[in-house]
Amino acid sequence: MTRFCGRRLGGAVVAGFCAVALSVNAADPPKKPQQPDKFLPNPLELTTPDPLLPGGLNRPLSEPERQTLRKALDDLNTQAIAKLRAGDVPGSFEIWNRELRLRRALGFLEEVQALGRVGDIAWRQNLNTQVRFITNRLSAIQTQVQRPLQNQVTLPDRAQIFPALGIAFQQVRSPGLALNVYQQMLQEARTRKDVVAEVNLLNTIGQLHLSWFDYPPAIATYEELLKLARSRNDNANVVANLVQLAYTHEQAKQPTQAVTYQQQLIEIYQKNPAQAILVAALKIKQGDNFVASQQFEAAEKVYQDAFQLAQPLGQFAYASDALRKLGLLYRSNNRLDAALQVYNYLAGVQQQAYDTYGVMDAFDQIGQIQLQRNAPAEAAKAFQQGLEVAKQINYRVDYFTQQIQKLQTVQ
């Protein structure tokens, strides 16, 4: 004979069986122990009557009743937040699960928004089972909303439910399910030839791929957006998508492809005097990508171009950055004389920009290069100049002093 035992966890009853031996007959064969349920019951599917909704979920509510219920459910959410802050995680989700069950009475839209909100909290609390419960309910809602149109009479807000589902699936960290929703919305937008919605949805899809570091489909999406923008002569979005494509290829460690889109951007910027100030920064990025793809001659040229563009415009930060990267490129390729010339010039540019730290670093680089050239006297001179600057800002004084002392010992 057995009796039923249960324990409560996060609002759900976890069933088990406790064997109670009232009498044992030696002739009886031994019984196998009964296995516990593999899955917990979904607390969102419980049908226990609730005092906040005595008529049950199926009774239509008047507007005053909806307002009263909505206020009560908002209060439940506040109570759950308070319990969570107090460290009572099971207690908080017991309340949230009650809220979510009752949200059904207010329609799919409000339920989906609440599911996403609580699902995000559950994910942050590493409550995988709770996240699964919520995800399953969201999927069930999606299935109901996608039924043939004759069943949509009761869903006047269907156009709002799909975007809410997409957001909620993101909140429970199910990008595949979110993409499924957005792809369906995209197909519907294309069917009704709604270009604005199509562009918005493609941007959402592209950003979702990017947020999950899924670069190949992100690139394909932005290429599609670029094609759309060009077909409509939408120059602003042409630029925006070229920027995204260059960035995404960089993130995907595809510097050669990134350079191609950056060059297209440069050509657009050069045609517009108002955008000319953007070219130097973009050429520096292009140079970085040339270095990453080991196209050193191309990198040298664009770094030089960037400096020559930035200097007359008073863009000292970009001018300095271009020179610094050019000097590093020369040093890494053992072109010490060229590197020395660049860092000497850099020290002057940093002085123009009143960048004391930059000046000090330039003298340090000059000293290091002179050491590589076996020119200790010139190295000592550079370190002495660096020391004088270091004393002005009381930074790295000991470093420069030690460098000078080492050279004096050698001499």
C-alpha 231/C-alpha 235 separation (Å) is 10
Q: Are 343 and 370 in contact (CB under 8 A)?
A: no
Q: Are 113 and 166 in contact (CB under 8 A)?
A: no
Residue whose C-alpha is closest to residue 106's, from 133, 74, 83 = 74
Residue 7 has pLDDT above 80, yes or no: no
At 297, list the tokens.
Answer: 């001659």
| Whole-number pLDDT of residue 351 | 93
- Band (158; pLDDT cuts 50, 70, 90): confident
C-alpha 312/C-alpha 88 separation (Å) is 63
Residue 2 has pLDDT above 60, yes or no: no
Q: What is the pLDDT of residues 184-205, one digit of tens each?
A: 999 999 999 999 999 999 999 9
Q: What is the pLDDT of residues 97-110, one digit of tens each?
A: 999 999 999 999 99
At 320, list the tokens.
Answer: 């300095």
CA angle in degrees (0–180, nearest 5) for 14-128-176? 130
Q: What is the pLDDT of residues 362-400, one digit of tens each?
A: 999 999 999 999 999 999 999 999 999 999 999 999 999
Residue 248 has pLDDT above 90, yes or no: yes
The helix (run of H) or strand (run of E) holding residue 13 is strand 12-19
Q: Are 57 and 48 in contact (CB under 8 A)?
A: no
C-alpha 60/C-alpha 12 separation (Å) is 27
Largest Cα–Cα distance in the chain? 104
Q: What is the pTM of this model?
A: 0.83
Q: What is the pLDDT of residues 275-326, one digit of tens each?
A: 999 999 999 999 999 999 999 999 999 999 999 999 999 999 999 999 999 9
Q: Are 138 and 112 in contact (CB under 8 A)?
A: yes
C-alpha atoms less than 13 angstroms from C-alpha of 290 in its C-beta half-sphere: 20
- Band (11; pLDDT cuts 50, 70, 90): very low
Q: Are 76 and 53 in contact (CB under 8 A)?
A: no
C-alpha 319/C-alpha 350 separation (Å) is 9
At 250, list the tokens.
Answer: 């960089």
C-alpha 305/C-alpha 284 separation (Å) is 9
Give 15-58 as a DSSP string: EEEEE--S---TTSPPPPPPPPPSS---GGG----BTTBTT-TT
Q: What share of the chain is helix, strand, coil (3-state, %, to 5)?
A: 75, 5, 20
| Whole-number pLDDT of residue 296 | 97
Q: Are 131 and 123 in contact (CB under 8 A)?
A: yes
| Whole-number pLDDT of residue 37 | 44
| Whole-number pLDDT of residue 213 | 97
251-258: average pLDDT: 98
